[in-house]
Amino acid sequence: MNQFPKGFLWGGASAASQYEGAFDLDGKGLSTADVVPRYTSEQRQKYAHPFEVSKTDALRNMNDFTSNYPKRRGSDFYHRYREDIKLMADMGFKAFRFSIAWTRIFPNGDDERPNEAGLQFYDRVIDECLKYNIEPVITLSHYETPLHLALKYNGWSDRRLIAFFTRFAETVITRFKGKVKYWITFNEINGISMTPYTGGGSFIPAGRDALQVGYQAAHHQFLASAHVKELVEEIDPQAKVGCMMAKMVVYPETNDPADILEAQKQNDLNNFFADVQVKGKYPTFMQHYFSAHHVTIKMEPGDKEYLMAHTCDFISISYYMSYTVSATAKADNVGGNLRTAIRNPHLEQSEWGWEIDPQGLIWGLRDLYDRYEKPIFIVENGLGAKDTLTDMHEIHDQYRIDYLRAHIKAMATAIAEGVEVIGYTAWSAVDLVSMSGSDMSKRYGFVYVDVDDFGNGSYNRYPKDSFYWYKKVIASNGEEL
C-alpha cells in the first residue's frame, strides 16, 4: 500500500520559455531562451550545450526571424491556457507548477515600471487554476533571463541583477498576494555552475573561467532568493518559498575508496546549492573546492548575515536520473542535459540516453531529508520520449506510465521511511519544447500537442494513455498505480 499524506500536491509542471510561445506579444521582451535556435544534429556536435549561444550569436539571432526557434512558439499555452488548465483539472491536478516570464513583466529586466498586459496574463492563468482548486506553484526564474540584462550586464554575474530581480519579485508577489502559496525562486539553481548562460544569462568572456562566472552568478542568485524570502514574509506571510535544484544522485563506479570519495565530493557539490539556501551558509568544503579551482567569490559586507537570516521553507527538486563517476576514468559516455557520467550497466536508458533509476530517487530523498529536515517538493520528474499519434488520435505511452509508476513507488517508499514529501508535479503537464535540444519531438506530457519540431501542426491537444492512468493515481491518492 502506498501511503501519501492527505492534501498531497499531485500535478504537473512547465516553464514559460518552453510552453507559452507568444514570445513577442503584448509587450513581452526577448529572453535568453528566445535566441536559441534548434540546431540540426550535425550542428549539435559542435556545441557542448546546444541550449547556449555566444554573445555574437545572441546579437545576430535577436534579429533573425527565419531560422527555427521552437522556444518562441512553445506549445501556445499563451492562447490555450484555458483548455490546458481544464485538461489538468480533468486529471484531478491539485497543483500546477509554471514559471512567470520575467520579460512579460519587465521586458528589459531593468525597466522602472511593469508591463500591465503581462501581469494580466498571469492574473488570468492563476484565476483559472483557482477556479478548479488547483494550487499555482510559481517559479520566478526558469532558465531564462531578459536578453537585455545578458547583453548589457552579462546577466547574473553582475550584482546589479539582484535589485532588478527583487523589483520583479516584489511586483508579482504583491500582485498575486493571497492567491499563490508556493513560490520557487531559481529553477535548478545548480545548473548555473554548468551552464552560466542558461542558468543566468552570463556569457563567458575571453580569459574568464566558466566556474568563476557561474559561481559568482550563483552567489547573486542566493542573495536574490533570500530577498524573495524576505519579501514573502512581509507581503504574504502565509505563502512559502522554496529553493530548487536538480538532485543529482552520484554513485561511485566501483568500491575503490577513491571512487567512493569522488562520488561523495560530487554529491557535496550538488548539495552545496541547498546548503546555502537552507542552512544559510557556505559549507567549509566549498572553500577548499574554490581555492583548488581558482574561484574567488566576491562578497559584500553583510552578505553572509543576510543569507543566514532568510533561508527557504522547503526544498524543491527535479529528478530524472542518477550519475556514475570514477576517480580516474573520464565521465563522458552517458548523461542528461546538464552533465555527463559513466555508463551504469545496471540501468536502462531513455531514448535520449538518460539512465533510468527510480531507486536513486529514494537515495536522493533520504539524503536531502537527513541533511536538511525540510519538506521536499518533487517539482520535476518524467520521461522524454517520441510519441505516436494514431489515426484515432490516441497515444499509447505505456513506457511513460512505467517510468512514472516506478518513480512514484520510489517516492512512496521514501515517505514510508520517514521523508516528508509534500507534492509531486511531473514533467510535464502538457507537451512542451525540450530545454536542451529545443525538440518538440522529445515529449514529456500527459497531453499530446499536435506540432512538430518545425512548428507544423494544428496545436490541438490529445490526452495520452498516461493521462487516464495519472487521473486514477491522483483520485486514489497514489494507491492505484
- Which span sits near ligand BG6 by CB under 6 A: 20-28, 85-93, 435-443, 451-459? 435-443
Tell me: does residue 151 bind ligand BG6 (CB under 6 A).
no
List 135, 300, 380, 417, catalytic entry: 380
* Alpha-carbon gap, residue 448 to 355, rounded angstroms: 24
Binding mask 312-351 for ligand BG6 (x = CB under 6 A): ------x------------------x--------------
The interface region with ligand BG6, picked from 292-300, 427-435, 457-465, 467-475 by CB under 6 A, is: 427-435
* DSSP-assigned letters across all residues of 253-316: SSS-HHHHHHHHHHHHHHHHHHIIIIISS--HHHHHHHHHTT------TTHHHHHHHS--SEEE
Please report how close the Cβ of residue 397 comes to ligand BG6 at its closest, in angstroms.
16
The contacts of residue 352 (CB under 8 Å, 6+ apart) are 384, 442
Compute the least distance from the CB of residue 194 to ligand BG6, in Å. Answer: 11
CB of 337 to ligand BG6, least distance (A): 4
Alpha-carbon distance of 437 to 178, in angstroms, equals 37
94 touches 10 (CB < 8 A):
yes
- Tell the residue number behind the cell numbers 507548477, with chain if given: 97
Is the Cβ of residue 324 or residue 337 nearer to ligand BG6 in the bound state? 337
Under the binding rule (CB under 6 A), the answer on residue 15 touching ligand BG6 is: yes
Distance CA 158, CA 81 (A): 35
Contact call for residue 442 and ligand BG6 (CB under 6 A): yes
Look at residue 381 and give its three-state secondary structure: coil
Residue 193: cis peptide before it, omega within 30 degrees of 0: no
98 binds ligand BG6 (CB under 6 A): no
Nearer to ligand BG6, 188 or 253 (CB): 188
Residue 199 and residue 209 in contact, taking contact as beta carbons nearer than 8 Å: no
Based on DSSP, count helices (H) and strands (E) in the chain, helices before strands: 17, 16
What residues have CB less than 8 Å from 182, skipping those under 6 apart? 95, 135, 136, 137, 138, 239, 240, 242, 314, 377
* Pick 147 or 307: Cβ nearer ligand BG6: 147
Cell 517539482 locates to: 379
Spell out, one character per residue from 174 to 193, where the chain touches ligand BG6: x when CB under 6 A holds, - when not.
Answer: -------------xx-----
Nearest distance, CB of residue 236 and ligand BG6, angstroms: 25
- x-or-dash string of contact with ligand BG6, 22-61, rule CB under 6 A: ----------------------------------------
479 is catalytic: no
Residue 112: CB minimum distance to ligand BG6, A: 30
3-state DSSP assignment of residue 168 = helix
Q: Which of 280, 358, 384, 478 binds ligand BG6 (CB under 6 A)?
A: 384
Q: What part of residues 230-249 is at the interface with ligand BG6 (CB under 6 A)?
A: 246
Select the span of 114-122, 257-265, 411-419, 429-437 touching ligand BG6 (CB under 6 A): 429-437
Among 143, 197, 369, 467, binds ligand BG6 (CB under 6 A): 143
Q: How many CB atoms lie within 10 A of CB 161?
A: 27
Residues with catalytic roles? 380
Where on the chain is the footprint of ligand BG6 (CB under 6 A)?
A: 15, 18, 143, 187-188, 246, 318, 337, 380, 384, 427, 434-436, 442
